[in-house]
A and B are shown apart, each in its own frame.
Chain A
């Protein structure tokens, strides 16, 4: 049997502070990355996306 999917634990202390800081200063995503993702998504969607899952 495979390992169970673990729950995401609540963040405390340093981890919580770091997470909150990152919310204010989220990592930048380049236009190229977004265009690449958009093109993959559009190409798959044009083929019908996920059968029974859209």
Chain B
């Protein structure tokens, strides 16, 4: 099984001149055509995961938030202990894209990558980030569920994707307890 620790991580630093095929046209096209323009506009950051010189996987992340209309009034909020307070919105990071190249699939690389990303945002939580969100492709929903993601809405956004989220706080708390 390929270990993520055997790979190198690099931030995308230009338009991609190499081939990447994960078996999904949209994910391939995003990396080839859109990832670097997004990065140049400071809209999303893309990281390439290389095994040797091959691109084994990539992911793109951007700032996000989860907002909810269900929140207590300001007066009720003030009397609650800090840990019990609920806010109108919570900072999050969106996993805009995550893909594993076809010839590296089936080796648990996606799960290892998600593990890395979760810890990365806990350890490097520079500005506050409570959740990871993702618009999971229909065929990837079970993968995200296996990795602790929960649907954000009962209704699918469209036929292609399902909005899901992962709460980083229980992981951070468990880490402190270790």
Tell me the number of A-to-B contacts counted with CB atoms below 8 Å: 146
The CA of A47 and the CA of B29, in the complex, are separated in Å by 29
Q: Which residues of A1-41 have CB atoms within 8 Å of chain B's CB atoms? A: 1-3, 5-20, 22-24, 26-31, 33-38, 40-41
Q: Known interface pairs A40-B115, A41-B115. Does A6 touch B135 (Cβ–Cβ under 8 Å)?
A: yes
Q: Which B residues are CB-close (under 8 A) to A20?
A: 68, 70-71, 86
**Per a CB cutoff under 8 Å, which of A8, A15, A19, A44 touches B5?**
A44
Chain B residues near A28 (CB-CB < 8 A):
170
B54 within 8 A of A: no
Whether B150 contacts A27 by the Cβ 8 Å rule is: yes
Chain B contact residues: helix, strand, loop or mixed:
mixed
Chain A residues with Cβ below 8 Å from B163 are 6, 8-9
**Given known contacts A2-B26, A2-B34, A52-B13, A40 and B71 CB-to-CB distance under 8 angstroms:** no
B169, chain A: closest CB distance, angstroms:
6
Question: Across the interface, do A34 and B174 meet the contact criterion of CB distance under 8 Å?
Answer: yes
Q: Which A residues are CB-close (under 8 A) to B30?
A: 2-3
A residues near B170, Cβ cutoff 8 Å: 26-29
Asked if residues B67 and A38 are in contact (CB atoms below 8 Å), the reply is: no
B119: nearest residue on chain A (CB-CB)? A41
Q: Which residues from chain B contact A36 at a C-beta distance below 8 Å? A: 115
A10 touches B69 (CB 8 A): yes
Instruction: Contacts A31-B174, A34-B174 given; indicate if A11 touches B67 (C-beta within 8 A).
Output: yes
Also in contact, A50 and B65, with CB within 8 A (given A6-B161, A8-B163, A34-B178): no
Which residues of chain A are within 8 angstroms of B29 by Cβ–Cβ distance?
A: 1-2
A38 touches B175 (CB 8 A): yes
- A51-B62 contact given A36-B115, A37-B115, CB 8 Å threshold: no
- Flag if B68 contacts A5 (CB, 8 Å): no
Beyond A34-B174, A34-B175, A37-B115, whether A10 also contacts B67 by CB under 8 A is yes
Ordered nearest first, which 5 A-B pairs have the shortest CB separation? A43-B5, A41-B119, A2-B30, A37-B115, A16-B70
